[in-house]
């Protein structure tokens, strides 16, 4: 039965609800990270399998983004989001029932499909309500979600029973409550035709944002490649440097994510170029410190590098959004955001799988970490050159 308009959530509550759902989705995506060690012990698989399980999620997100990324511009935000929340809840059930690698892969695929459908929809919905606060929330949520999901999962493993199940049950309940909130939320766009046609996969950008998107792509790719590396191999690398508990492994992603979110808050009033420069500089410094720390077996240095990496992630991603989103019309928001997330998840998944193969068939974990750090530094330098060139072009114009 339709909900009366007078009983719909207010814009402020709706914005908070959408941000919380994005946090929940990203927390759910990070929750398996501290559990990979337990899964590996029980089911006896290699680091390659770990990175494949990690990256299959990114592949599913990509497929979903390319198919459903523009759908909410046509049918509305609420219908797409309701289905995405329901599918994410199904993924939590599959995780609870997982009894081997095939089930784990299935859970990650279902989870990725839900996340891909939701990412652009949630982001566009927040921008519909308030462009400034929506852009800020889009930038903050990834760090909070990733960090809190990993730490929550690690704490559950360390201190509570049924470690491979309980965290997913808690996330299921949270998603159920949020789904009820979506039912009460007002629609933020007017429906229009072309829904079926919008599901044909294509990479198409409005002319006004093509130049800015080309400038930010190296940054987006680099910061998400860094997040993917720390998410898939960070706990194992930290364990190689010191004999750590699962909680310390979860703390790794928490520090990375929360520092990134704090950076977004501190730089929220800065210009897009300033935010981008801050993020790129921190990314380069963080990778240099991480590189030296791995070579010298320094745990303290590793966490310092991790914190700088968090600044790089928060600043780089926020700066990218602040560069592109102000140029986008309302009916283009979901599609443009989805395409940005496509490039994000290519960076998130592809380098991580390559790193997994190098760990097994290359020079091992420490050497792979060194090589990965160098690649991220090179990507950041490319992004820096692109930003400087764009600034000179703008000044000349």
In this prediction, residue 83 has a pLDDT band, given cuts at 50, 70 and 90, of very high
CA–CA gap between residue 200 and residue 397 (Å, rounded): 37
User: 37 by DSSP, 3-state: which?
Assistant: helix
Answer yes or no: is 3 within a domain. Answer: no
- CATH code, domain carrying 353: 1.20.1250.20
Which residue segment(s) compose the domain that 252 sits in? 10-187+208-396
Is the Cβ–Cβ distance between 106 and 55 less than 8 Å?
Answer: no
Q: Please check whether residue 257 lies inside any domain of the structure.
A: yes
Give pLDDT, residue 1. Answer: 46
Mean pLDDT of 306-330: 85
Using CA atoms, how far residue 269 sits from 259, 279, 312, in Å, is 17, 15, 17
Which residues are CB-neighbours of 360 under 8 A, at least 6 positions away?
46, 47, 48
Percent of the chain with pLDDT over 70: 92
The predicted-structure confidence for 137-185, as pLDDT tens digits, reads as follows 887 887 888 888 888 888 888 888 887 889 999 999 999 999 999 999 9
CA 8 to chain centre: 29
Alpha-carbon span 192 to 163, nearest angstrom: 46
Domain-located, residue 235 = yes
- Pairwise pLDDT comparison (55 vs 317), residue with the higher score: 317
Residue 214 placed within a domain:
yes
199 lies in a domain? no
Burial class of residue 133 in the structure, from the number of CB atoms within 10 Å of its CB (0-12 exposed, 13-18 middle, 19+ buried): middle
3-class state of residue 199 by DSSP:
coil
> Averaged over 244-250, what is the pLDDT?
72
Lowest model confidence (mean pLDDT) among 71-85, 160-174, 276-290, 378-392: 378-392
Determine contact, residues 129/15, Cβ cutoff 8 Å. Answer: yes
The residue among 147, 191, 209 whose CA lies nearest residue 337 is 209
For residue 5, pLDDT over 60 is answered with no
- Count Cβ atoms below 10 Å from residue 290 Cβ, excluding itself: 29
Give how many domains the chain has, as a whole number.
1
Q: What is the pTM of this model?
A: 0.78
Question: Tokens 């998410």 appear where?
Answer: 231
Whether residue 114 lies inside any domain: the answer is yes
Q: What percent of the chain has pLDDT over 90?
A: 20
Distance CA(306)–CA(287), nearest Å, equals 8
Residue among 158, 151, 159 nearest 26 (CA): 151
Q: Return d(Cα 285, Cα 293) in angstroms, integer.
A: 12
Asked whether residue 375 is assigned to any structural domain, the reply reads yes
Does residue 192 belong to any structural domain of this protein?
no
pLDDT digits (tens, 9 = 90+) for 269-302: 888 888 989 999 998 998 899 888 878 888 888 8
Decide: 351 and 322 in contact? Cβ < 8 Å: no
- DSSP reduced 3-state for 203: coil
Question: In 3D, which of 140, 9, 142 has the Cα closest to residue 78?
Answer: 9
Contact 219, 376 (CB under 8 A): no
What is the distance, to the nearest Å, from the Cα of residue 202 to the centroid of all Cα atoms in its chain? 21
């Amino acid at each position: 039965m339709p909900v009366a308009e007078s009983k719909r959530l207010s814009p402020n509550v709706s914005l908070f609800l959408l941000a919380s759902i994005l946090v929940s989705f990203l927390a759910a995506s990070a929750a398996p990270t501290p559990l990979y060690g337990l899964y590996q012990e029980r089911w006896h698989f290699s680091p390659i399998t770990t990175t494949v399980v990690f990256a299959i999620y990114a592949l599913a997100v990509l497929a979903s983004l390319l198919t459903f990324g523009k759908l909410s511009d046509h049918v509305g935000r609420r219908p797409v989001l309701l289905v995405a929340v329901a599918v994410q809840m199904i993924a939590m059930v599959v995780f609870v029932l997982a009894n081997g690698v095939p089930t784990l892969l299935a859970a990650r695929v279902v989870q990725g499909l839900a996340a891909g459908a939701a990412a652009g929809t949630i982001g566009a919905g927040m921008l519909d309500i308030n462009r400034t606060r929506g852009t800020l929330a889009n930038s903050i949520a990834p760090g909070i979600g990733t960090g809190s999901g990993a730490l929550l999962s690690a704490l559950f493993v360390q201190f509570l029973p049924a470690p491979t199940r309980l965290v997913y049950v808690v996330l299921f309940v949270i998603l159920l409550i949020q789904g009820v909130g979506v039912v009460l939320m007002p629609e933020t766009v007017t429906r229009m035709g072309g829904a079926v046609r919008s599901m044909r996969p294509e990479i198409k950008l409005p002319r006004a944002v093509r130049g800015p998107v080309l400038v930010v792509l190296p940054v987006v790719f680099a910061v998400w490649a860094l997040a993917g590396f720390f998410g898939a191999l960070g706990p194992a690398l930290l364990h190689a440097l010191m004999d750590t508990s699962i909680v310390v492994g979860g703390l790794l992603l928490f520090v990375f994510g929360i520092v990134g979110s704090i950076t977004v808050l501190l730089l929220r009033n800065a210009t897009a170029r300033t935010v981008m420069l801050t993020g790129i500089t921190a990314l380069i410094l963080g990778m240099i410190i991480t590189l030296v720390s791995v070579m010298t077996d320094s745990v303290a240095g590793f966490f310092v590098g991790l914190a700088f990496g968090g600044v790089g992630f928060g600043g780089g991603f926020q700066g990218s959004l602040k560069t592109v989103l102000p140029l986008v019309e309302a009916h283009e928001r979901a599609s443009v955001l989805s395409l940005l997330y496509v490039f994000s998840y290519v960076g998130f998944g592809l380098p991580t799988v390559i790193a997994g193969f190098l760990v097994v068939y290359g020079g091992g974990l420490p050497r792979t970490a060194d090589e990965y750090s160098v690649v991220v530094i090179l990507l950041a330098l490319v992004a820096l050159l692109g930003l400087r060139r764009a600034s000179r072009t703008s000044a000349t114009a």
